[in-house]
Amino acid sequence: MEQIVLQLKNTRKRRLLMELLGELDFVKVTSVIRDGRKVSFANELIEALMEAKADERGEKKMQRARDFLKNG
């Protein structure tokens, strides 16, 4: 399963987009975030998860949590 985050430039089109997505049997809308701070947090969280997955695949080397806490 893949996730796609969309940012609407024109919030008045939100209802149209939700109706369109509702017609697609291969799309499931799991949440709608309207608060700008929550959007920023969600974007940062997604970025962190992508970095962690890159570390698991060996594409990126991340510092271990224990080493980070020990050395700061």
> Residues 11-57: pLDDT tens digits?
888 889 989 998 999 988 877 777 777 778 888 888 888 898 998 99
Contact at 8 Å (CB) between 41 and 35? no
CA distances from 71 to 9, 16, 38, 48, 51 (A): 43, 51, 30, 20, 21
CA distance 37 to 58: 32
Q: Tell me how far apart the alpha carbons of residues 58 and 22 are, in angstroms, rounded to a whole number.
A: 38
Residue 9 clears pLDDT 70, i.e. is over it: yes
Q: Specify the pTM.
A: 0.45
Distance CA 5, CA 21 (A): 13
